[in-house]
Chain A
Amino acid sequence: MQNDLTAQVFELIRSASVDLSPDVEKALIAARDKETEGSTERGTFDVILQNNKMARDNNTPICQDTGTLIFYIDIPRKTDTMPIEEAIKEAARQATKNFLLRPNAVDPITQKNTKNNVGEKAPYIHFEQWDKDYFRYKLMLKGGGSENVGTQYTLPNTPLNAGRDINGIKKCVVDAVFQAQGKGCSPGIIGIGIGGDRCVSYLTSKEQFFRKFGERSPDPVLAEMEIDLYNTLNKLGIGPMGFGGKTTVLEVFAAKACRHPASFFVSISYMCWACRRKTMIIKNGEVQYD
């Protein structure tokens, strides 16, 4: 049973690392087609698309930065989570040994690399109980370059002249994407967390990357904001890798969480074009990947 689960999680990691999801691939092709024939921008998208095909065919990582492993797992009530944690750690060790993951867990005091992606709070695992009788594992591989350009604002914000309203939120997002330029491996996917405390705000922004491209927020105000920001941000002309061009962001996802009356956080998480996340459902012993 335990061995089965390790193998299933290993496959989840493998597919996230080497096989970019169809919705992301489709957005990259559309972005390529918007650029002029023979331009550096179009050439850059061609290289990206060629790389993704090679990674899939050769079973090697899309990007050498295989990121931080972030698991969100929905579990039936009263599930013992210990065996799941153990299976995830073992799968991470095996995936590192098989060159599907780079050893990316470093002790911040000794600077020693654990060499197997397992260590304190690594991989990061978040469990949530739900009313269903089956399991859903969501995995994201979050690259470091894009993580470094993520940022958090508090409203009101004097330098941006931004208040506690929709336009104030939009200003934070425009500023974050402008400051990032091409450094987060643009075109990026923008996750926005509105409200919460500092932690919840950032978590909310990052969880959005599990959404499928084109999936709008159920909240009509946020859905409109997502579309509006997508159009606005693509006017910045930063383009792929910051070479200039028509596509600076591939998607914008926003979500909210209740805030303390005194606080108003707007958090922006940036995901590189190599938006690697996959889902695995285990139901009555049957495994499905998406």
Chain B
Amino acid sequence: MIKLTTPISEEVIRNLKVGDICAITGIIVTARDAGHKLMVEERPGFLDEYLNGGVIYHCGPVVKKEGEKWSFVAAGPTTSAREEPYQAKVIESYTVRGVIGKGGMGEKTLEACKNYGAVYFHAVGGCGTLLAKSVIEVITVFKLEEFGAPEAFWVCKAVDFPVIVTMDSHGKSIHADVKKASNEVYTKIMTELSAK
């Protein structure tokens, strides 16, 4: 288990390899479809202090407000592929060092990880309750009214948030490897079904 603390330096990120199991402590910022679109089209400055060397989390949490204080009730990852058109640009323009999500991302993002020094962390999808336990505090929230709770930017403090590196800064992706291996089996099955 590798312990990481945000902001993360490029050197630390370059040392990570696919398959590494990590625990992230520090600030993470949730962003989904509306957030990524905004970051690319308008590049708001209010995120800079949290994202420089920081970590984006593809997540739309279930949140609770008690008095003036927000907290996460359930907060697992959402499908990252939807952010593929935007992610590379976001990594570059905000100097993001890590992206947490599920399902992996494509070649454009992998290329950006290589060029700018970032990695993709996979959290276990569906585990909303377990992952919310690692988020100890909501620091602030942006665009809550406009985007709604799932799509808002939730800036929060995590402790030992559990993830696995599945895309590293050296061009390696577990998702690409599994797709390639499963493609061989797929081709074989389809051929057998044609022959029967």
A: residues with CB less than 8 A from B are: 40, 43-44, 47-48, 50-51, 54-55, 58, 60-66, 99, 101-104, 106, 111-113, 115, 143-145, 148, 160-161, 167, 170-171, 174-175, 178, 181-183, 185, 232, 235-244, 272-274
Contact = CB atoms under 8 A, between A and B. Distances in A.
Interface in B124-144: 124-133
Nearest to B78: A145
Contact of B185 (A54, A99, A237): A237
B74 interface: yes
A178 B61 contact: no
Given A102-B150, A272-B126, A174 B103 contact: no
B175 A181 contact: yes
A64 B126 CA distance: 7
Q: Dominant SS at the B interface?
A: mixed
Contacts of B190: 160-161, 171, 174-175
Contacts of B186: 174-175, 178, 236
Contact of A178 (B164, B174, B183): B183
Contacts of A113: 147-151
A126 to B, nearest CB: 25
A148 B80 CA distance: 12
B193 A64 contact: no
A62 B62 contact: no
B69 to A, nearest CB: 14
A99 B64 contact: yes
A65 B79 CA distance: 11
A241 B124 contact: yes
Given A64-B132, A112-B148, A232-B189, A102 B127 contact: no
B75 interface: yes
Nearest to A61: B74
A111 B34 CA distance: 10
A51 B127 contact: yes
Given A58-B129, A174-B190, A273-B126, A64 B60 contact: yes
Given A55-B129, A111-B34, 16 more contacts: A51-B131, A55-B128, A66-B74, A101-B62, A102-B150, A112-B148, A143-B126, A145-B78, A161-B190, A181-B103, A181-B182, A232-B189, A236-B182, A237-B181, A237-B185, A242-B104
A148 B6 CA distance: 32
Top 6 A-B residue pairs of the complex, sorted by shortest distance between their CB atoms: A113-B148, A51-B130, A64-B128, A51-B127, A64-B74, A183-B103
Contacts of A111: 34
7 contacts: A51-B126, A51-B131, A61-B129, A66-B62, A115-B149, A143-B126, A235-B185
A90 B122 CA distance: 37
A104 B150 contact: yes
B113 to A, nearest CB: 18
Interface string B177-196: 11101110110011001101
B85 interface: no
Nearest to A111: B34
A64 B59 contact: yes
Contacts of A244: 174, 177-178, 181
A58 B74 CA distance: 11
A145 B178 contact: no
Contact of A40 (B59, B162, B164, B196): B164
B166 interface: yes
Contacts of A62: 74, 126, 128-129
Given A54-B133, A174-B186, A239-B178, A47 B60 contact: no
A40 B179 CA distance: 17
A61 B60 CA distance: 13
A47 B181 contact: no
Nearest to A113: B148
Contact of B104 (A66, A145, A182, A239): A182
Contact of A50 (B73, B130, B194): B130
A65 B181 contact: no
